[in-house]
Amino acid sequence: MERKADIETLFRIFRSVSKSVHTSTSVGEVLDLVVRGTAEALHAMGSILRILNLRTDEFELNAAYGLSEKYLTKGHVIRKTLYVGKIHEKGAIIISNVETDPRVQYPREAREEGIKMMLDLPLILADDVVGLIRVFFPETREFSREELEFAEAIAEECAYVIDKAMLIERQRVDYHQLAVKTEKLSSLGRLAAGIAHEINNPLAAILLYGTSMLKEVPPESPHKEGLEIIVHETVRCRGIIQELLEFSREKESRKVPVNVNKIIEKALTILENEFRLRRICVEKDLSDNLPEIPLDVNQMEQVFINFLVNAMEAIPGEGSVTIRTSEDEDGRGLVIEIEDNGIGISDEYKDRIFEPFFSSKPKGTGLGLPVNFGIVEKHQGRIDVFSELGQGTRMVVWLPCVEGGA
């Protein structure tokens, strides 16, 4: 005798599934509820749910209800045997003859299981089939409009579950990669600090004796030029070592309420002669009504100096650097923009500019921007980069007005 589902039962089961979809944190529990609820609502003998594995192009069994272990152990199903062509519409597919339909992979096993009819519910995201609910019946039957609408609605909810599961998996993979990368960078920082300390002492001796010898040799000596190179390169090495130590050293922030414009003005004063020598014009657009916010003055001064030096070095000839300050629209933070009209950053480098020791400059150490990133992060702020090759670069720093307000 053919059994039809009543509307009240369909609604009750759909509401239960929908609630689970939007509240449960366990994808497996939701999928189990989907196959059980679908089978019970349609008075079916069982139901399975398969999800497409993009790496193997196979539909893998993820949940099942009401079927024997013998039938369920037949394995995965490749995509091309499940569908002929591509599904473009979200709709139920009725398989009324399991013996001859090419979408049935195991007709003999289905017959032994007592299956006479199947109902396929494709799970579709962005016009791509990502999974399938297959419902099994012991006899052929007709479906009411309400039953088919219920089944299709369940499929839509289930597709949402798979989308959420994929997002969680992507986040898990990203988090794992980030954790591995962070650990590598931490180890690299400790290694760099150790090497820097070891090199610093002999480097100081080289600089001391090189400078002393340079003072003693007469101007016409053939050794004078060589000693000048030794002293110059040693000083450069000492600067790199100092940057390494600054990068690896954990400093406690000493935050005091301060107007960020004062820190910017001081950084500009320090670099004033450098801008003049390079014939670079500095344009300021500093807001007069900024509130004082908790900042470590020395650390933020270092941030602005690093950004300004990078802006200068990005301009091959004469040019301009603009620095602006303002309060964001909701009053929760301050925005500091440093913009140049230099060579810009190519797309292949944009994602790497905050990596330690990465630099596109021939003599760069690759530590300035990572140091900036770390300092701004400690202030619960963020840095956004906007750049086009040949069009210049704009660095945007956002700092919260209240500590912990990011």
- What's the pLDDT tens digit per position in 277-319? 889 999 999 998 899 999 988 888 888 988 898 888 888 888 8
- Strands 319-327 and 280-286 come out as parallel
Cα distance between residue 182 and residue 30, in whole Å: 34
Full set of structural domains in the chain with CATH = 7-172 (3.30.450.40), 174-248 (1.10.287.130), 255-400 (3.30.565.10)
Position with higher pLDDT, 215 vs 178: 215
For the chain, give the mean pLDDT. Answer: 80
pLDDT level of residue 86 (50, 70, 90 thresholds): very low
Cα distance between residue 129 and residue 225, in whole Å: 73
Q: Are 375 and 302 in contact (CB under 8 A)?
A: yes
Cα distance between residue 159 and residue 234, in whole Å: 63
Q: Considering only 29-33, 100-104, 248-252, which range has the smallest mean pLDDT?
A: 248-252
The pLDDT of residue 399 is above 90:
yes
Q: pLDDT tens digits for 185-208?
A: 667 666 766 777 677 778 888 888
pLDDT level of residue 88 (50, 70, 90 thresholds): very low
Q: Are 311 and 338 in contact (CB under 8 A)?
A: yes
Q: Are 3 and 43 in contact (CB under 8 A)?
A: yes
Closest CA to 253 of 352, 102, 376: 376
Give the largest Cα separation in the chain, rounded: 115
Instruction: Give the angle subtended at the CA of 217 by the CAs of 212 and 218, to the nearest 5°.
Output: 145
Mean pLDDT of 50-72: 83
Which tokens sit at 323?
């620095």
The pLDDT of residue 3 is above 80:
no
Place of tokens 């202030």: 379
